[in-house]
Structure 1
């Protein structure tokens, strides 16, 4: 294994660096802008073998509105009307998605350049990204010291570890917003992808994509026996019609390490995921429609996210689990993506 660095872009006069990690047969690249995964090439000799959605400039990462590959938070997903109560105090966050707060707001960590440390180990390379999140920047209580570790091992496993500590009681529910397209072609839709989960419940959402608090089951949302994403994309279910596909939190099995799989039989590529989080938000890029500065066209259903996290808007639903990070309490979470091809 080896790692190289090169300049990716500049933002407000500050250099953005790309870190390129090569295994025996694959390439994983990351950038310090948003502590984000930038590319995953399943064939290191083929620049067209990328299986995630990527763009080539910081401006396109910002303007696309897709959060491609970024670390998002401090709270992933939407918070209803940007409001919550913590320790008997009411908070009002920025409403950057209609009437609601999304992914930490417009000044969130996905739009910042993180500091980086490279750690070499036997058969593994870790990128240790660091950032401080300040109360004055995003209007959540408390300042947070936040680390995200991206580790690549020679068996083509990508592990994300999250570490955080806060100066006050706050909310914390980060994720990575990677989009997969196992067709290795942004213009080919992911309706030929198959998902396998070990549980069949999901959180109902309303017209504003906010969870209602109701946990449901439905045929189109049952992926216990490898089901096609085309079922939801073809809008056969009321919950799918609401968003023209999937944009839903799926509840994972009730065990410490939850597993699920995304695959495309045509290309014989599989992504096996293991996480300690309680849900995965599956989003089939229903609203994606963006052309980059270098004329790359991203189309509706051109990728699917697998965002491991706690349930969105959990602070406003007593049955959604706990996303409160106590003062001086250490936060840790881990998600593993193993690429098999």
Structure 2
């Protein structure tokens, strides 16, 4: 898509409006331009305590997330664009976006449900990626502030009609971003359908705890609580195997520098040009969404630490899987919020999810959602320094 032209509001040009309570939690809103189709986009700012998060109604994007380092210096730790033009461009690599209807890849863009085969549009070589070429990341969501005296919160809503990107059923989705005084950003996903369908929602934030635009993350350490992962073929579709991480570059059971083994001669790393794989999380339950309270099922999944800034990110989730993507396809052609060019491995993406291509792997945890059921998933990002 073309740039939006002179009428586009760049970051910080509009005066925010909204509600702020006496305890410091605030949820404010400002205009953030207009899509090529003429739809107005808003930017909401959630602030509480030490952290500030800016969320766009376009794609539910987390545009910036500002938090102090060990010396008290506040910095933005996520990658993004300074204006709407970057997000509506075909070059946007899903910076900070909500992903749906189906996060990650579906082989051949095809799956069979209850005897009917559905064909989705292909947008990743021979496969469908992140819900198709016009997924949830390309939609304008309806926003409602829902915070209280202690928590700044925003609810986003989207109705995806039957047949949208080839998926069956009308899917009604709400995603709530909540920021508490302990520097925890929670994302709660809920969805219902009027016909059987498949659903796998996630968020695609790119993290660099040293600061957006500061360079590669090779020295930052990552720990993933997973003894197994799902190997892929040359198109990054899972083979169906659940493979142990022991003795491989995929063993992050102990904190390990992101770049420690990323250049090893390993066929899986060659396929992904780095890490772009799903880890099977070690859970004490089954990651059940069926009949369970998502808050009760939260378990720690991963920890990222930057030794330079002292910042630590801890991710907890109700989901059974975690996709670790090491920013392999950032190639120096995109300029971010801070005016810096983004290059390979300038961030890590950690997508809590059900497994890729699950509709075509009966042994994987099911992503089927039926009428009368509620898709219920929660992920919490806790930052400390």
Query: Would you say 1:41 and 2:66 are equivalent positions?
Result: yes
Offset at 1:234? 2.1
CA distance in 2, matches of 1:293, 1:175: 22
Q: Distance in 2 between matches of 1:293 and 1:20?
A: 19
Q: What is the CA–CA distance in structure 2 between the aligned matches of 1:135 and 1:148, rounded to whole Å?
A: 20
CA distance in 2, matches of 1:224, 1:279: 14
Q: How big is the shift at 1:222?
A: 1.1
The question of 1:320 aligning with 2:364 is answered yes
Task: Check whether the contact 1:186–1:299 (CA below 8 A) recurs between aligned residues.
Answer: no
User: Which residue, 300, 305, 319 being the options, matches 2:344?
Assistant: 300
Q: Is contact 1:130-1:146 (8 Å) kept?
A: yes
Q: Distance in 2 between matches of 1:162 and 1:185?
A: 26
Q: CA RMSD in A?
A: 1.9
Structure 2 residue runs of 5 or longer lacking an equivalent are: 1-24, 285-296
Q: Contact (CA 8 Å) 1:252, 1:258: kept in 2 or not?
A: no
1:13: Cα distance to partner? 2.1
Q: Spell out the pairing of 1:1-40 with structure 2 (5 A cutoff).
A: 1-11=25-35, 12-40=37-65
* Shift, 1:107, TM fit: 1.6
Q: Say yes or no: does 1:269 pair with 2:311.
A: yes
- Equivalent-residue separation in structure 1 for 2:212 and 2:137 (angstroms): 25
Q: Which moved more, 1:287-296 or 1:265-274?
A: 287-296
* Contact 2:27 2:147 (C-alpha < 8 Å) held by counterparts: no
Give how far 1:320 is off: 1.2
Task: Find the residue that maps to 1:239 and give its secondary structure.
Answer: helix
Q: Which moved more, 1:131-140 or 1:269-278?
A: 131-140
1:138 pairs with one of 165, 178, 188: 165
Of residues 125-134 and 4-13 in structure 1, the stretch that sits farther from structure 2 once superposed is 4-13
Distance in 2 (alpha carbons) for counterparts of 1:297 and 1:188 = 9
Q: In the alignment, what sits opposite 1:279?
A: 321
Q: How does 1:1-341 map to 2 (within 5 A)?
A: 1-11=25-35, 12-43=37-68, 49-63=75-89, 64-218=91-245, 219-255=248-284, 256-259=297-300, 260-289=302-331, 290-292=333-335, 296-341=340-385
Paired residues of 1:29 and 1:38 also in contact (CA < 8 A): yes
Which structure's residues are more often strand, by fraction? 1
Q: Contact 1:157 / 1:336 at 8 angstroms: preserved in 2?
A: yes
Shift of 1:216: 1.4
Do the aligned partners of residues 48 and 299 (structure 1) sit closer, same or farther apart at CA in structure 2, a change above 3 Å counting? farther
3-state SS, counterpart of residue 220 of structure 1: coil
Give 1:6 shift.
1.2
| Structure richer in helix, relative to its length | 1
After TM superposition, the score normalised by the length of structure 2 is 0.84
Given that residues 80 and 336 in structure 2 are in contact (C-alpha distance below 8 angstroms), is that contact kept between their aligned partners in structure 1? no
SS in 2 for 1:60: helix
Structure 1 stretches of 5 or more lacking a match? none
Q: Residues 147 and 185 (structure 1 numbering): CA distance in 2 closer, same or farther, change over 3 Å?
A: closer
Q: CA deviation at 1:185?
A: 3.5
Q: CA deviation at 1:230?
A: 0.8
CA distance in 1, matches of 2:264, 2:309: 25
